[in-house]
Chains A and B, each alone.
Chain A
Amino acid sequence: MYVAVKGGEAAIDNAHRLLADRRRGDRSVPALTLDQITEQLAIGVDRVMSEGSLYDRRLAALAMKQARGDLIEAIFLVRAYRTTLPRFGHSEPVDTGAMLIERRVSACYKDLPGGQLLGPTFDYTHRLLDEDLEGDPQVETGLQRGGIQEPVMRVADILDQEGLIEDDGAIDPALEPGDINQTPTEFPMSRAMRLQSLSRGDEGFLLALGYSTQRGYARSHPFVGEIRIGEVDVDVFMPELGFAVPVGRIQVTECQMVNQFKGSAKAPPQFTRGYGLVFGQSERKAMAMSLCDRALRAEELGEDLVAPPQDQEFVLSHCDNVQATGFVEHLKLPHYVDFQAELGLVRTMRAEYEQCTGEAVLETREAAE
């Protein structure tokens, strides 16, 4: 027999009303505007864009406001919104070499063409809370330095001249990259689809896995070949015009991680690379992504599979925080019937157990007598 139980409608309505009330908080405090969020919580907004897998700062800011600052909830909202829009097509691949650079550093070369450009970084700050920010102090604009600027060369191209670093390989123009939104998950997954998955993966999860590769779970000796942050042009092919049309610019963070490689039967000793490309200013995420990308290439490079970061199924099935939170959080929803069934089972097992131990005690006593 199955008895459907209904109820809770009024409680749910009232809970949502209370949520809206608490979200707004003290009415004597001015409400946040989306401009304030996009301008002043920009890196949080970028995280919501990249893990929500939707480049739209204003929507990400709206999601953050609605989610009361719960970033995973905001990412969930953005992912849900995405499904309401039609897909018009895809862009031409963005050219990160032609980026309008806002930051570019390399840990491999001190004096590389284009130089070390620190940009707006938290690095070298003392991590001391600035009590002035309790108010709204006057802040100076960034200094400018004129003069002719060198082109900012890719680090991979520098090493490539000596043949000591793997190149990106030949491009098969007929090959379409798979799309994890439109194909059921199957392992092994192509590197293109792995990168898509990692680019929207949870920053914390990828950070922890990347960290584990440095600590010895999957041998890797990484150097930051280059990190660059800046804006790239987006072109979309319009069939009605017959050519690709510029539709604007996006900000991205790119990380080239360079790893030692002892060589294999097929390849000489050289440096290999892990790659990270993430929406917005998301340096930590791009670095973690490139570490994970490199670890996931273990099989391709003939390395022993010994640690979780090298395991495609482990990494890619668990890096999506919307999936993860959905499955973990569903546990709090009513499981009354399931639990009743298990309760009955445990009662039966307990009764059998007690009967057995009872008999065993009796037997022992009898044996002693």
Chain B
Amino acid sequence: MNIAVDQAARRDRMAVLARCSTERLNSLWAKLGLQPAHTPLRGPEAGLVMLRGRIGGTGEPFNVGEATVTRASVTLEDGSVGHAMALGRDHAKVRLSAVIDALCRNAEMAARIDAELIQPMRQELEVADETRRQQTAATRVDFFTMVRGED
């Protein structure tokens, strides 16, 4: 598989796993009926990342403040390694995300997981974003001009 395509797919999957709710992830995972044996390589462990912004929005980077993150790495019995990192301190979710990442090293399994787990969650997150966008749009000011005088 093309490395760039594989990397992009992995990144997209990680983006969904990092943002999804734990309950939703657990329920979709349960439906998949997978119980792969795995050993922890690292974590799950909570720590900090320093969040950066840019001066003026697009200039030099600066440190804004830290955030809690949790990271985990696991190995499956076939030797596949999975990694995960997400904001917050939800160890169980991040461990499961790392297992999912490891399973997706296998192209067939990745296709199944994408279809049954990642895609539904991505869609729900997109719907939630769209609702936000539309709620914000409803507060947009529509200016009108009052014409006064004769001209």
Contacts and interface: CB of A to CB of B under 8 A. Distances in A.
* Chains A and B bind each other: yes
B55 A101 contact: no
Interface in A247-300: 247-250, 252, 254, 256, 273, 275, 277-279
Interface residues of A, number: 81
A168 B63 contact: no
Nearest to A248: B87
A247 B133 CA distance: 22
A213 interface: no
A115 B51 contact: no
A22 interface: no
In the complex, the 10 A-B pairs of residues with the closest C-beta atoms, listed nearest first: A168-B59, A248-B87, A55-B67, A144-B134, A192-B62, A246-B15, A53-B65, A168-B56, A142-B135, A90-B50
Contacts of B88: 56, 58, 248
A238 B85 contact: yes
A236 to B, nearest CB: 5
Interface stretch (B31-39, B68-76, B112-120): B68-76
Nearest to A100: B129
B63 A177 contact: yes
Interface stretch (A37-45, A194-202, A351-359): A194-202
B139 A246 contact: no
B54 A91 contact: no
Contacts of B140: 115-118, 145
A172 B7 CA distance: 27
Nearest to A195: B62
A193 interface: yes
Given A87-B47, A246-B18, 10 more contacts: A54-B48, A54-B68, A93-B54, A94-B51, A94-B54, A169-B60, A191-B55, A199-B65, A252-B53, A279-B64
30 contacts: A53-B65, A54-B65, A55-B87, A85-B68, A87-B48, A87-B50, A91-B51, A103-B139, A115-B140, A116-B140, A117-B137, A117-B141, A120-B139, A143-B135, A144-B135, A144-B138, A145-B140, A146-B134, A147-B137, A168-B59, A168-B60, A171-B61, A179-B50, A193-B62, A196-B62, A236-B49, A246-B14, A246-B18, A247-B18, A247-B49
A10 interface: no
A105 to B, nearest CB: 9
A238 B47 CA distance: 14
B11 interface: yes
| Interface of chain A, main secondary structure | mixed
B136 A56 contact: no
A110 B143 contact: yes
B138 A143 contact: yes
Interface of B: 7, 10-11, 14-15, 18-19, 45-69, 71, 73, 83, 85-89, 129, 131-141, 143
A23 interface: no
Interface in A134-163: 141-147, 149, 154, 156
Contacts, number: 220
A87 B49 contact: yes
B11 A243 contact: yes
Contact of B63 (A88, A118, A179, A245): A179
B64 A97 contact: no
B45 to A, nearest CB: 8
A145 B47 contact: no
A102 interface: yes
A131 interface: no
Contacts of A147: 137
A245 to B, nearest CB: 5
Interface string A108-132: 0011000111111000000000000
A241 interface: yes
Contacts of A275: 55-57
B147 to A, nearest CB: 17
A92 interface: yes
Contact of A250 (B51, B85, B133, B137): B51
B136 A102 contact: yes
> Looking at A97, A116, A168, A248, which has the most chain B CB atoms within 10 Å of its CB?
A248
A366 interface: no
A181 B48 CA distance: 13
Nearest to A169: B59
Nearest to B57: A96
B114 to A, nearest CB: 16
B53 A277 contact: yes
A100 B133 contact: yes
